Structure 1
Amino acid sequence: MATGSVNAKSQKIHARVSHEIIANVELAKNEGESTSQFVVTALQGEIKRRQKEKSKPDESKG
């Protein structure tokens, strides 16, 4: 049984989020989707977007 914020499969994170963003999350979630599932999917998408952005050649030079 997990006793803290970290176990073998995952880690809890805590963040304060404005009421406006939380309301929009609730509107955007798919039916049956938990807030945790939404947040994890959003984080995965943002990580991929940033990795892709970093791998692009610098277009400002040239």
Structure 2
Amino acid sequence: MATGRRNNKSLQVSVRLPLEDLELIEKVKESDESIAGFLIAAAKTEIKRRQRKSARDETKS
């Protein structure tokens, strides 16, 4: 059983979003998708994008 904000697989974090951004997320997320699920998917996509960018920048050097 998880105790506190951390368990074997995850860490619970709290973030504040501007209401305008939250409204936009509500408009574009899938109907059966949670906001947390949307944010996790968006974060994973952004991580991959930045990793590819970093790898490209390293090959240019």
1:18 aligns with 2:18: yes
What SS does structure 1 have at the residue aligned with 2:7?
A: coil
Q: How many pairs does the alignment contain?
A: 60
Q: Percent identity?
A: 35
Stretches of structure 1 that go unaligned for 5 or more consecutive residues are: none
What SS does structure 1 have at the residue aligned with 2:41?
A: helix
**2:33 counterpart letter in structure 1:** E
Instruction: Measure how far apart 1:57 and its partner are.
Output: 3.7
For residue 9 of structure 2, what is the aligned residue in structure 1? Answer: 9
**Structure-2 separation of matches of 1:57 and 1:41:** 24
**Structure-2 separation of matches of 1:6 and 1:43:** 19
In the TM superposition, structure 1's runs of 4+ consecutive aligned residues that sit over 3 Å from their partners are none
Provide Cα deviations, 1:11-41, integer angstroms capped at 9, x if missing partner. 1111111000000010111120011110100
Stretches of structure 2 that go unaligned for 5 or more consecutive residues are: none
**2:21 counterpart letter in structure 1:** I
Give the structure with the larger helix fraction: 2
How does the TM-score come out when normalised to structure 2?
0.86
